[in-house]
Amino acid sequence: MEAFRIYIKGIVQGVGFRAYTQRLGEKYALDGWVRNLPDGRVEVFVQGDRDVVWEFIKALSQGPPRARVDAIEVIKEVPRDEERGFSIRY
């Protein structure tokens, strides 16, 4: 299992990006969460099988129809036992 923290920059707030990310996380059976940041970026914590996580990140780079992803920063993290399911944090 691998875990990553991801920061997504662009037009990613107010366009359904968190709900899109949650659906993707559930579709790929990954654990983690997504939230908006005050600076306009979206932050994601995700963990699961390495290949599946990279497919998830690839799908995030496209985003929902009204979004525009300008940059993605991926940082390796330590997996967390307490993370189960995929949620939206506020």
Of 5, 35, 36, 68, which is the active-site residue? 36
What are the residues whose beta carbons fall under 8 Å from the beta carbon of 49, sequence distance 6 or more?
1, 2
Q: Does domain 2-48+59-79 sit in CATH 3.10.310.30?
A: no
Instruction: Tell me, yes or no, if 50 is annotated catalytic.
Output: no
- pLDDT at position 81: 85
The one-character DSSP state at 15 is S
Coil/strand/helix, residue 45: strand
pLDDT-above-70 percentage for the chain: 100
Catalytic residue among 5, 18, 68, 80: 18
| % of the chain with per-residue pLDDT over 90 | 93
Rounded to whole angstroms, the Cα distance separating 24 from 8 reads 15
Contact 6, 57 (CB under 8 A): yes
- Provide the residue ranges of all domains of the chain, joining segments of one domain with +: 2-48+59-79
Task: Examine the pLDDT at 83 and tell me if it is beyond 80.
Answer: no
pLDDT per position as a tens digit, 42-79: 999 999 999 999 999 999 999 999 999 999 999 999 99
Question: Is 18 a residue of the active site?
Answer: yes
